[in-house]
Amino acid sequence: MMNEVSDIAGQHELIAENMTLQIVKEINNLVKELKDERKRHLHEGAKLQAQLQASLSQLDKAKKAYEKAFKEAEKAQENFVKADADLNLSRAEVEKARTLSVMKNQACEDCKTEYANQLQKTNELQRQHYITTLPNVFQQLQEMDERRITCIQNFIKLSADIQRHVFPIVSKCLDGIVKASETVDPRQDSRLVIEKFKSGFSPPVDYPFEDLSNLKNSEGNTGLHSVPSFKTETIKGTITAGKLKKRSGIFGIFSSNKHHIDETKDYCDLPPNQRKKKLTQKIEHIQNQIQQETAARDGLTKMKLVYEQSPAMGDPLSIEGQLTENGHKLEKLQTELQKFQSYLSDAEGITLTPKRNKKDRNSISEDSLSRSASDSSVNNPNNNKTMVSNTPPQANGSSYSPESGISRSRTSIPEVDVYDDEEKFDNIDEEDNADFDLDPLPVLGTARALYPFDAQSEGSIPMEEGEEFDVVELDQGDGWTRVRRGDIEEGFVPTSYVQCFLYNNC
């Protein structure tokens, strides 16, 4: 299903890419073109409006000049009439007044003619402006907008066609999801869960019949208890008695490992099958660490040889400390590997039987006890005093103290707590049965590649310029930094080839 969903996501990416190339790019070009064209039309309209305003201004000036000349001519005519009627004025003064009146009348006629011409021009320009030129500008703007709408309409149709083109592929992906769902087998899935979480315990043995009359007669004849009685009081005085914890699970079978997974290094608190899995995972993890440390040692050795041959590149003595520390790490890892391998060998040879509930702990038969004791003596001849312990392993892998009177024996009857009578149907936490994997190294920061690097040595990874990683281990002085690409690939890259950005808490 995830593969089909990934294919559907790929088709969506194809839609986005086609829309970007065929629609978004064209829309950007169209917007730029329409913006320039609209600016040109508006500039033309503003120019026509300015011409009309200039013509109206000239008309106003011509009108004012005509009015002024008319008033002056009218006044000069009145002065001439008065002068001609006045008998006290000389003929020269009367002639002067007549000449002035004629000049003013002529100037008035000129201004009148100019005003009439300007009025005719202004009226014509105004008529052309409002009937022809300005409507043409608006018509061009309208056509431009209609062209824009048409283009957007075509782009909408194109987007629909682009999406319709991938519908058959998406439909096939959905059909694949349905087909995958039809292959689900509930019975097979439940068997996988059973195989993964089965405890490995053998079914409990039958309860023995205890004949109290025979037991009493035997006690009366011998004065001794022929059958040892293991009571719950045997653990009340021990050091670990106060640390007993009850596990919860489905019918007491699937016990909780969530709070006990790291309490003992040998995972002895887990059921046999789960313990084997955890020990196997731990061994694989240690082997991977040994391989990494071995690769680091080889790299340091090669670097030391290079420094010895070319002292200008570095001091060989600076590598000695790192080689020594690397050797200590390898010895420690080898010791841990041998220890966990011995744990795994012990776990593979153990057959455990779960105990009864607390009310039946005192009814363990003499036969079962003797059988356990004989098995213990066979598997561990040096420990003939092995006792049955009802105490779970202490946290942090601490050994049992001699004062408690309880020794660690892998052949003793294991502790398997089940529900008490009043707690038979407690809520079951699904997380109690979770599988615990080894945690990866924590992320200390991020790194960006400054230069490309072609990995040729074991343990290193290639990188491209500008690629980003997660830093999981800082440079220990050997010139290499451990990084992680994505969630799975880890390796070393040259420290001088990357730029690190560490978090504040590092």
Per-residue confidence at 358, pLDDT binned at 50, 70, 90?
A: very low
| Higher per-residue pLDDT: 90 or 129 | 129
| Higher per-residue pLDDT: 379 or 287 | 287
Residue 98 to residue 104: CA distance in whole angstroms: 10
Dihedral-angle region of residue 458 (phi above 0 means left; psi in -120 to 50 means alpha; beta otherwise)? beta
The answer to whether residue 85 scores a pLDDT higher than 90 is no
Residue 389 to residue 414: CA distance in whole angstroms: 7
Per-residue confidence at 407, pLDDT binned at 50, 70, 90?
A: very low
Q: Whose CA is closest to 110, among 74, 62, 142, 151? A: 62
Residue 208 to residue 290: CA distance in whole angstroms: 52
What interhelical angle do 91-128 and 25-85 show, nearest 10? Answer: 160
User: pLDDT value at position 505?
Assistant: 66
The CA–CA distances, whole Å, from 43 to 39, 135, 141, 230 equal: 6, 14, 12, 108
Phi, psi of 202 (to 5 degrees): -85, 155
Per-residue confidence at 250, pLDDT binned at 50, 70, 90?
A: low
Compute the CA torsion angle 394, 397, 402, 407 (nearest 10 deg).
80
Q: Which amino acid does the sequence have at 148?
A: R
Q: What is the DSSP string of 239-258?
A: GGGGG------GGGTS---T
Per-residue confidence at 195, pLDDT binned at 50, 70, 90?
A: confident
Of 265-279, 330-344, 411-425, which has the strongest mean pLDDT?
A: 330-344
**Euclidean distance between the first and the last CA atom of the chain, given in angstroms as a whole number:** 40
Q: Which amino acid does the sequence have at 414?
A: P
Segment 68-80, tens digit of pLDDT: 999 999 998 998 8
User: What are the tokens at 162?
Assistant: 């682009």
Contacts 24+ apart (CB under 8 A), 18-25: 18/162, 19/159, 19/162, 22/158, 22/162, 23/155, 23/158, 23/159, 23/162
| Higher per-residue pLDDT: 163 or 362 | 163
Residue-wise burial string across 204-227, b where 16 or more C-beta atoms lie within 10 A, e elsewhere: eeeeeeeeeeeeeeeeeeeeeeee
Residue identified by tokens 């409990």 is 204
Range 208-220 average pLDDT: 70
User: What are the tokens at 468?
Assistant: 């980003």
Residue-wise burial string across 18-42, b where 16 or more C-beta atoms lie within 10 A, e elsewhere: bbeeebeeeeeeeeeeeeebeeebe
User: pLDDT value at position 188?
Assistant: 92
Name the DSSP letter for residue 22. Answer: I
Range 134-157 average pLDDT: 94
Per-residue confidence at 128, pLDDT binned at 50, 70, 90?
A: very high
Output the average pLDDT for the chain: 76
Q: Which amino acid does the sequence have at 95?
A: E
Residue 258 to residue 249: CA distance in whole angstroms: 12
Name the DSSP letter for residue 209. Answer: P
Residue identified by tokens 């009146």 is 101
Answer yes or no: are the C-beta atoms of 324 and 330 closer than 8 Å. no
Residue identified by tokens 């490992």 is 257
Domains in the chain, CATH or no CATH each: 2-182 (1.20.1270.60), 244-433 (no CATH), 445-502 (2.30.30.40)
Query: Of 66-80, 84-98, 201-215, 289-303, where does mean pLDDT reach its minimum?
Result: 201-215
The answer to whether residue 372 scores a pLDDT higher than 70 is no
| Higher per-residue pLDDT: 193 or 438 | 193
The answer to whether residue 35 scores a pLDDT higher than 70 is yes
Residue 153 to residue 148: CA distance in whole angstroms: 9
Spatial neighbors of 151 by CB under 8 A, at least 6 apart, are 26, 27, 30
User: What are the tokens at 466?
Assistant: 């500008």
How many other C-beta atoms can be found within 10 angstroms of the C-beta atom of residue 464?
A: 9
SS3 percent helix, strand, coil of the chain, rounded to 5, is: 65, 5, 30
| H helix runs in 198-271, sequence order | 212-222
User: pLDDT value at position 138?
Assistant: 94
Dihedral-angle region of residue 251 (phi above 0 means left; psi in -120 to 50 means alpha; beta otherwise)? left
Residue 430 CA, chain-centre distance (Å), reads 26
Per-residue confidence at 178, pLDDT binned at 50, 70, 90?
A: very high
Answer yes or no: are the C-beta atoms of 355 and 235 closer than 8 Å. no
The CA–CA distances, whole Å, from 155 to 12, 29, 37, 115, 152 equal: 18, 13, 20, 57, 5
Range 377-384 average pLDDT: 40
Q: What percent of the chain has pLDDT over 90?
A: 44
Segment 435-485, tens digit of pLDDT: 444 567 888 999 999 999 988 888 889 999 999 999 999 988 888 999 998
Range 28-36 average pLDDT: 94
Query: Of 33-47, 52-66, 201-215, 261-275, where does mean pLDDT reach its minimum?
Result: 261-275
